[in-house]
Chains A and B, each alone.
Chain A
Amino acid sequence: MIDANHPELELQDLVEGLLGPAEHATIQAHVDGCVRCRAELDELRRGRELARLVPRLTAPGDVRRDVAVCLQRASDAEQQNGRGVPRRRILAYVLGAAAAVAIAAYVSRREDVPASAIRSYEASKAGERAFDIVTSDPAVLERFFSGRVSFNVRVFDLGMMGYRLVGGRVDQIFTHPIALYTYSGPDNRTLTCGMYRGDLSELPEPNERRDHNDITFLVYKRGAVTAVFWREGDVVCVAMSDMPTDEVVALAFAKSIRS
């Protein structure tokens, strides 16, 4: 049995800082005079410290892939008939033949990344998506990203081209967290650059493939928007803009670094 004279859960509330001033004083006074409760309090503090060290695990690649496939199918089905496909069928599909899954995953992710990136660009341009930070200073933005993504983000200074940095945010293009930052340029043009950890093999067949300085650039055109992707180490860079395609490509050439 628990001795009613010794606080129990109240000790935890003390650790958590959940007690009101009067109760805090009462419990603290008891603890100060009670060896048993002091030991208990220490134990609770240690337990809480230990619990907070429980590491966040990273979902393995096959989990990311299968979640992506599920969502792609659910979203496609919804788009086609306004209603979802029965969940069992989607899961059965994904859990089906491994080869079919691998191909479907490959195709769906290939289709997804540029579309997802361009959607994000258009949301920025339309002002539908707020920035996490508004700044015209590339160094400030680089520091901001360094605490939020697990890779180094280079923020370009494009002042010479007449493009002024506006701000940036961490967004999500399908299963990748992406550091995105946007510039405002002449003629009301908008340029958004982004970096995420990934690989070019996830991307679909581009409209154009360009090589420069031993780097391959994949060029996608969607309406007035051009998106150019290239790889630097394990990071994929993208530049997206409504400026003429050649200018976006030239900018990507100028700012890329061979890895």
Chain B
Amino acid sequence: MVSTTSILRSTGDLRGGFEREALPHLDAVYSFALRLTRRREDAHDLTQETFLRAFERFRGFTPGTNCKAWLFTITYSIFVNQYHRDRREPVFVGVDDRERSVPVSAPRERLTPARAVAEADIEEALAQLPEDFRSTVMLVDAEGVSYEEAAHVLSCPVGTVRSRLFRARKMLAAHLRDYDAAERRDP
């Protein structure tokens, strides 16, 4: 294992450490960024800025902790500050996550035709979730981040992660049920 001191010794070591610890999560960060922004160009910029900021802050990263969750925290913070304002979906102004509903016509990221139908359907179901539900599902279910880590990434209490996950999973199940019903009608 590389120790803290050897990572921090020089710029070369810093870069080497960053390449080993952070860069393997490039696909995860891009996936998260694309699901957040739902536009390839925005996901591209968000991914790039995440890694640049992460590199600048890498001396402050504690080796042995979850580097992927650390990167997601940076991604989400940039997203909230720079992309959130002009996101193209209805803004929900409920006081309680439980009071929210699913947007009717959320724009969707187009999938390549080669993708399986089931995968496209999951993607569509995910795209229909409100943004903070979607980000919670991405972190906990898709990326295996713990409730506590997800709460840190999203700057919210653990209880909120728990309740968002509850609502989001129910919405996804409802979508799957509709899909199954549609399949039976029109196979």
Contact = CB atoms under 8 A, between A and B. Distances in A.
B171 A177 contact: no
B15 A71 contact: yes
Interface in B4-35: 6, 11-12, 14-16, 18-20, 23-24, 26-31, 34
A128 B53 CA distance: 27
Interface string B49-80: 10111011000000000000000000000000
A63 interface: yes
A78 to B, nearest CB: 5
Given A47-B172, A54-B137, A71-B15, A12 B162 contact: yes
Contact of B15 (A67, A75, A91): A75
B98 interface: yes
Contacts, number: 148
A50 interface: yes
A36 interface: no
Contacts of A2: 98
B23 A172 contact: yes
Interface residues of B, number: 58
Interface centre among B15, B45, B51, B176 (most CB of A within 10 A): B15
Interface stretch (B83-91, B100-108, B119-127, B149-157): B119-127
A56 B171 CA distance: 21
A79 interface: yes
Contacts of B141: 48, 51-52, 54
Interface in A121-143: 123, 128-130
Contact of A50 (B48, B162, B173): B173
A61 to B, nearest CB: 11
A237 interface: no
A55 B122 contact: yes
A146 interface: no
B92 interface: no
Q: Which of B48, B176, B177 has the most CB of A within 10 A?
A: B48
A24 B167 CA distance: 21
A53 interface: yes
A57 B31 contact: yes
Find the residue from B16, B18, B40 having the highest chain A CB count within 10 A: B16
Given A47-B176, A116-B16, 5 more contacts: A9-B162, A46-B173, A50-B173, A74-B55, A119-B16
18 contacts: A9-B162, A12-B166, A47-B172, A50-B122, A50-B125, A50-B173, A51-B141, A57-B27, A59-B29, A63-B30, A66-B48, A70-B51, A70-B55, A91-B49, A129-B1, A171-B20, A172-B23, A175-B23
